Chain A
Amino acid sequence: MTAFLLRRLGQALLTIFGVATLIFFLQRLTGDPTYLLVPDTATQADIDALRHALGFDRPLWVQYLSFLGEIARFDLGKSVVQTIPVADIIASRLPYTLALAAGALLVACGLGIPVGVALALGRDRWIARILAGLVLAAQSMPTFWSGILMILVFAVTLGWLPPSSTGGIDHLVMPSVALGLLSMATFARVTRTALLEELSKDYVRTARARGAATGRLLLRHLARNASIPVITVAGLEISNLLAGAVIVETVFAWPGLGQLTVQSILARDFPIVQGVVLLGSFVTVALNLLTDLLYSAVDPRIRLGSAR
């Protein structure tokens, strides 16, 4: 188990190093932030002076080495635009992203798993067809459209919820639903497939023959066996929710990392983009590791390193 963990940690570090290198050079292909910082009428001398102050006049490999040196010391540098440490900026945005991801996951699981169960159990009935249609609709609505629509209905017309920005828990409702509806479909589909597969297995037929009711069957046997693909998907969806909230965060003026990333990309604020991407790769790598460990907890057959 230790050897396995060490091997996986080594792979994880290598992955993060690769991502850091890629993001560093990719960004530098996209232009120079200095041009965006100076006023319209800046002279060449202004531009050169600012570029020098920001360190973008150094050779690329020097910049790269100093970047690697900084991340080795866990220093993400200073924002080019806001001139404050990137770590501070990310730390101030992260709670919002986590809150939104949690809210969305709640919506996605809370709706998606029951719907998936209903789709599997009632697969030939009309109710399942209607549900399947609704799931498809929820997944097909782009969030920039469904988000604005929700704002117009629930905030402007009905006045039930605040239209945007942050504050109490009521501010979190619409962004969570807008974001959660997208992953809800994924959860429903995976739950349905996993459950159907389990339903076709021999032990289910045996249990049924012994007179076990569907509810008991579901809770005692199926829930646990069908949960593995759902956990896998949850792991993937969490990284998706953390990364994919860009549009929802923009529409609802939710100050999470997605919004920060887009603004920083547009402003060519390299240190922030690097910081967010590094954080994202770290989270993805860590979640993958965690998912593997969870598998072994749920299913003894894939418990690694144990030769029973």
Chain B
Amino acid sequence: MRVPTATVPPATVSAGDRQLRRIERDTLIVGGGLALGALLLWPSHPARAAGVAGGLALMALSYQGIRSGVDAVWPRPGPGVPAAGETAAPVSPTLRARFGFVKFFTRNAILALSAYVMMARFEFDPMAMLAGVSTPAIAATIEFARTMRVGSDGSHSRLS
């Protein structure tokens, strides 16, 4: 008899979610590496490392807002949530979904305010902030290269 565990059921983690998690991890690694590199290269200018971290934080805010909005519209399949394609009873909007919508629609205001505070008040380095904002694009490029490499090896794609 199989003992039920508290782990996430396989149905809740799709290939798209796995890909997103790899990109999240790569973004953190690239951003952390850039911030550490800035700190090591310019130890007398901590505003540069802080700028990279600030840009990363801006992208994290944006990502969380977008993700919670998408999750509010299309909930991830899991326990208690009908899988895609199944007929589901109408569910009233939960507090999480409402909060997700609020985050989705107010994310640009939050981003603008945060960027203003970082740049004009905390005086983070603006070029470093741009580098920090670039980290998701770098991570997506890494993921694309990884997918192409796995595909060209003749094995199955990691997306599937």
Pair from one complex: no
